[in-house]
Amino acid sequence: MKTANYNVRLDPDIKAKAEKTFAVFGLNLSEAINVFLHTAIMRNGFPFELREARFKSDVLQAMEETEQLFREYTDGTRKPVPHTNAKDLLQEILAEGDEDDV
């Protein structure tokens, strides 16, 4: 079978996440893209529904902040702060909220 090459520019994080996702199915990225293209051809369009995102900007910002915190905890640049009880944790959260209002 003949093949054609096509170069794609990807965000390195997206590429790594996609590779990890498709590896679960025993596919590398090239194979997964081929599956996508074959399915799109069979369906004569995208093989999934496309819709406009319905998130408000503040929700998107909160999601981005959460992803950033997750990355920082995962790579060790941010360390968890232990709390002895829920009351102390709640007071810290409320204090952080007050700082944002300033």
The boundaries of the domain holding residue 39 are 1-50
Q: Are 33 and 65 members of one domain?
A: no
Q: Are 46 and 61 members of one domain?
A: no
Q: Are 1 and 45 members of one domain?
A: yes
pLDDT in tens, 50-86: 887 777 888 888 989 999 999 998 998 988 888 889 9
pTM for the full model? 0.51
Q: Are 66 and 42 members of one domain?
A: no
C-alpha distances in Å from residue 48, one per residue of 37, 40, 53, 71: 12, 9, 15, 29
To which residue do tokens 């009351």 refer?
A: 87
**Which of 28, 50, 72 delimits the end of a domain?**
50
pLDDT in tens, 20-36: 999 999 999 999 999 99
